[in-house]
Amino acid sequence: MRTLFIDEQQKIEAIIRSCRTCYLGLSDAENQPYVLPMNFGYENDTIYLHSGQFGLKWDIMKQNPKACITFVQGDELKYQDELVACSWRVKSKSVIATGNIEFVDDYDEKVKILHIFMAQYSNQRFEFNAPAVRNVGVFKMKIVQMHAKEFGAKAVTPWNKNE
């Protein structure tokens, strides 16, 4: 089984859209890593996130806006030979994106982003009341770099290349 690089933007975006959770990676002033699962929205090479407007995550992002966001699709165990440990693999696809966190305070922009966020999870159109919009913390990361891979891909050989 092989690891393949995924270069096509359409395939990368399909991985992102298939996920329900992303993992936000941050690093505090002492370079202590901090990673947490989050819900997200995605549009035009920008990842949108939201939460309460306080806490360790917010403190770290204010100190150091550099971030890494990871998406993982699939977790199926595969092996070439059940008795050979090194042939076992988790068949999955991942996207790793890096950039800088920006906080969003503008009311109208927050509403727009909340719609993007909900579009990740539902085709339903939602309305947001003013207190909810004012009280939610919204931040975004414009993607600077992005890499995607497929793990546990079937090795292409002369006898299976057309499968």
Phi, psi of 5 (to 5 degrees): -80, 140
Q: Structurally, what CATH architecture does the domain formed by 2-153 represent?
A: Roll (2.30)
Q: How confident is the model at residue 75 (pLDDT cuts 50, 70, 90)?
A: confident
pLDDT in tens, 25-67: 999 999 999 999 999 999 999 999 999 999 999 999 999 999 9
pLDDT over 70 at 90, yes or no: yes
Q: What is the largest CA-CA distance in the chain?
A: 62
pLDDT in tens, 96-117: 999 999 999 999 999 999 999 9
Say if residue 61 is exposed, middle or buried (CB neighbours under 10 Å; 0-12, 13-18, 19+).
buried
What are the boundaries of each domain within the chain?
Answer: 2-153
Q: Which of 51, 72, 70, 80 is nearest to 139 (CA)?
A: 51
What pLDDT is recorded for position 1?
63
pLDDT over 70 at 4, yes or no: yes
Say if residue 88 is exposed, middle or buried (CB neighbours under 10 Å; 0-12, 13-18, 19+).
middle
Which of 11-15, 25-29, 60-64, 151-155 shows the lowest mean pLDDT across its residues?
Answer: 151-155
Question: Per DSSP, which regions of 44-87 are E strands?
Answer: 46-51, 66-79
